[in-house]
Chains A and B, each alone.
Chain A
Amino acid sequence: MSLSRFLIKRSLQGLFVIWGVITVVFGLRFISPGDPANVLLPPDVDPEVRAQVIAELGLNEPLYVQYWEFISGIPFGDLGLSLVTRTPVSARVVARLPATLELAIAATVVAVVIAIPLGVLSATRRHEPADYGATVFSLVGISTPNFWLGVMLILVLAVQLDAFPTSQRPIGLDGIAVLLAGGDVGAAIRGFGTWLWHITLPAITLGTYFTALITRLTRSGMLDQLGQTYVRATRAKGLPETLVRYKHALRNTLIPVITVIGLQLGTLIGGAVITEAVFAWPGLGSLIINSINARDWPVLQGSLIVVAVGFVLVNILVDALYAYVNPQVAYD
């Protein structure tokens, strides 16, 4: 199968999964014991007013009409109106998106920058102190709940040492881009400094699990590659050890590592939800939690759809990238 046919097949599968996601999210409302009209109305409201509100929300329509109303707007970015603020859900989700994306990307950067060198070091100095250190670090990193790590980082670095803020996000990369576009370079640089200062602790909190995971994968992948015949062949040819390690062995190790990074993006977004709660970071995660507490169905549904659809798209992208990087893969 050619790459383009593979992509088409994968996209069709993705579309099916997206449809399933939307349907599951639509169904969520019906397992809830509460009535959406109760969110808007005081309990002692006049039954006539109540009936009117229910009609306005379209809640008295047959199920298939409600389902169609729900699903037909989504391709055009229409996720309905918030029950609480009566503003479009899509606008609220879009406003929160940059904060979550920034956090996820920063955490990935932290993880990749630390983990890959650490994994290589660990594999090339097997059974030396560096290896044991890296091994213990990755075991502890995988076993530590990130919200607790966040609380501890705040406790030590923000409260006791006062080296970092307890976070919040006074400016985002989107704000910095606006400053740059306005030509105010000085303000943009100061803004970037503020941004970096505020995102450090959340990024470490979210990134630690991945750092540990990728260290583990890199170490075992490297060990595996270094034992292969082709490595012995390159050594026998007299290539310097650095070249053997970094040009040949590491390259082959990175292929599975990239796949895992892609597949773990879902966990990353899940972790972002709780990291945002710890650091008062105004992203999608806090939007989801607020909307549950406020019983604001459309906002909850809209955020879930955006998160899941984003995840499906990223997975397709990772598959394509994987197929592109590794020509051996059969497009199955």
Chain B
Amino acid sequence: MVAMAIFAPFISPYSPSQQDLDNARQPPLGFSTTETREVTQMENGSVVIEDGQVVTETQTVYTNATLAHPLGTDGNGRDILSRIIYGARTSILVGLFGTSLAALIGVLVGLSAGFYRGRVDDVLMRSADIMLAFPSLVLAIALVGVWGQAQAPIPDPFVATGLAPAFRSAVGLPTGMPGTIVLPGTVIVVVALVNWVWFARVARGEALSIREEEYVKAAKALGASDGRTVLRHVLPNAITPILVLATIQVAAIILLESALSFLGFSGADVSWGFDIALGRQYQSTAWWISTMPGLAIVVTVIGLNLVGDWLRDALDPGIEGEGGV
């Protein structure tokens, strides 16, 4: 998935926004559709009129899957595979940046709360309680809704350097890939604001026990500053559970992003959740438009959850591998 997202301009069969209305709603490989339509009856190149009415007839249209669009096309004839490949960029960017920002805030808050205890701890942890009182999706919707959807287009390095277009014309793929990656800024900030609390809790718990260790006392006795003690001695020893949490949080944030974009609160132009919402108007004629991006989300999140479980078992010999799935 990550490789797919990074190298999107090389491997995507089409541009995610390229429309082809003649080939709209093509089914994925292995499927075909029949659709009945009312068509105006034509005779010698002109419409037939009887009793002052245009005569229509019912036609059955068969559409077969083509190799050109292995996962089919959406309501505007855009290639679904290409949109999933580009949508992966949005999900992974939001997942990584959102988690990093959340971890940065949460670890700073948690470590200082656990290290200093007392008043600092009380103030920081009570504000964490306040954040936890809001269901995360509700708070995220409210914040994005209130803030608006700021986005930052950043140039796609592969397109800007000419590497991707050169590669594509060499292997005969259509060119004209988008030159920018849209970074949904508000969404990234909001998912971090909503999720930092989990990092704060874990980091605080670790700091509380580590501050009592001999080596921390030794560092203090040698005159190390608080900042140095926390960064050089406490943080490295607290990093394992934080890493495990981060993996699971990337999955949670990808789910949160897809929910936000499904509801229309996203700054990105291509996103899995948004495409699921787009496909809903075709649910009686073209099931694959909503189905495919959802499968992409499920596969990605399962993968991340498995990595999280594996990391927890591998890094923490204290917990037996039997706990979760």
Q: How far is the CA of A312 from the CA of B142 in the complex (A)?
A: 19
Given known contacts A144-B298, A274-B259, is B290 in contact with A31 (CB within 8 Å)?
A: no
Q: Which of A21, A139, A147, A293 has the most CB of B within 10 A?
A: A147
Nearest A residue (CB) for B304: A143
Contact B283 A155 (CB under 8 A): yes
Question: Is A245's beta carbon under 8 Å from chain B?
Answer: no
Considering only residues 237-274 of chain A, those with a C-beta below 8 Å from chain B are: 266-271, 273-274
Contact B280 A151 (CB under 8 A): yes
Among the stretches B65-73, B122-130, B232-240, the one at the interface with A is: B122-130
Question: Is B133's beta carbon under 8 Å from chain A?
Answer: yes
Question: Is A68's beta carbon under 8 Å from chain B?
Answer: no
Among the stretches A75-83, A110-118, A303-311, A317-325, the one at the interface with B is: A303-311
Q: B216 to chain A: closest CB distance in Å?
A: 24
Given known contacts A145-B255, A151-B283, is B325 in contact with A139 (CB within 8 Å)?
A: yes
Among the stretches A12-20, A48-56, A168-176, A181-189, the one at the interface with B is: A12-20
Q: How far is the CA of A324 from the CA of B273 in the complex (A)?
A: 43
Considering only residues 249-302 of chain B, those with a C-beta below 8 Å from chain A are: 251, 255, 258-259, 262-263, 273, 276, 279-280, 283-284, 287, 290-291, 294, 297-298, 301-302
Q: How far is the CA of A216 from the CA of B291 in the complex (A)?
A: 26
Q: A50 to chain B: closest CB distance in Å?
A: 22
Q: A158 to chain B: closest CB distance in Å?
A: 9
Contact B302 A151 (CB under 8 A): no
- Interface secondary structure of A, over-half rule: helix
Q: How far is the CA of A141 from the CA of B274 in the complex (A)?
A: 21
Contact A140 B298 (CB under 8 A): yes
Set A21, A143, A270, A300: member contacting B137, Cβ < 8 A: A270
Chain A residues, Cβ within 8 Å of B127: 20
Contact A148 B276 (CB under 8 A): yes
- Interface secondary structure of B, over-half rule: helix
Considering only residues 305-325 of chain B, those with a C-beta below 8 Å from chain A are: 305-306, 322-325
Contact B290 A148 (CB under 8 A): yes
Interface size (B, Cβ < 8 Å)? 45
Contact B138 A143 (CB under 8 A): no
Q: How far is the CA of A20 from the CA of B276 in the complex (A)?
A: 36
Question: Is B116's beta carbon under 8 Å from chain A?
Answer: no
Chain A residues, Cβ within 8 Å of B298: 140, 143-145, 148
Question: Is A292's beta carbon under 8 Å from chain B?
Answer: yes
Question: Is A154's beta carbon under 8 Å from chain B?
Answer: yes
Question: Is A24's beta carbon under 8 Å from chain B?
Answer: yes
Set B133, B251, B273, B323: member contacting A143, Cβ < 8 A: B251
Chain B residues, Cβ within 8 Å of A154: 283
Chain B residues, Cβ within 8 Å of A311: 133-135
Given known contacts A20-B127, A151-B290, is B306 in contact with A308 (CB within 8 Å)?
A: no
Chain B residues, Cβ within 8 Å of A289: 141, 263
Given known contacts A145-B297, A148-B294, A151-B283, is B126 in contact with A16 (CB within 8 Å)?
A: yes
Contact A20 B297 (CB under 8 A): no
Set B134, B143, B147, B276: member contacting A308, Cβ < 8 A: B134
Question: Is B174's beta carbon under 8 Å from chain A?
Answer: no
Question: Is B146's beta carbon under 8 Å from chain A?
Answer: yes
Question: Is A28's beta carbon under 8 Å from chain B?
Answer: yes
Considering only residues 117-170 of chain B, those with a C-beta below 8 Å from chain A are: 126-127, 129-130, 132-139, 141-143, 145-148
Considering only residues 21-56 of chain A, those with a C-beta below 8 Å from chain B are: 21, 24, 28-29, 31-33
Contact A220 B302 (CB under 8 A): no
Set B141, B291, B325: member contacting A273, Cβ < 8 A: B141
Contact A32 B146 (CB under 8 A): yes
Binary interface encoding of chain B residues 98-129 relative to chain A, with 1 for a CB under 8 A from any of its CBs, else 0: 00000000000000000000000000001101
Q: How far is the CA of A330 from the CA of B90 in the complex (A)?
A: 46
Contact A33 B130 (CB under 8 A): no
Contact B141 A138 (CB under 8 A): no
Nearest A residue (CB) for B147: A31
Residues of B at the A interface (CB closer than 8 Å) are 126-127, 129-130, 132-139, 141-143, 145-148, 251, 255, 258-259, 262-263, 273, 276, 279-280, 283-284, 287, 290-291, 294, 297-298, 301-302, 305-306, 322-325
Given contacts A21-B130, A21-B133, A271-B137, 5 further A-B contacts (CB under 8 A): A144-B298, A148-B297, A151-B279, A151-B280, A274-B262
6 shortest interchain CB distances as A-B pairs: A292-B145, A270-B135, A270-B137, A20-B130, A148-B294, A143-B301
Residues of A at the B interface (CB closer than 8 Å) are 13, 16-18, 20-21, 24, 28-29, 31-33, 135, 138-140, 142-145, 147-148, 151-152, 154-155, 159-160, 216, 220, 223, 266-271, 273-274, 277, 285, 288-289, 292-293, 300, 304, 307-309, 311-312
Q: List 8 A-B contacts (CB under 8 A).
A: A151-B290, A155-B291, A270-B135, A270-B138, A285-B138, A288-B142, A293-B145, A312-B133
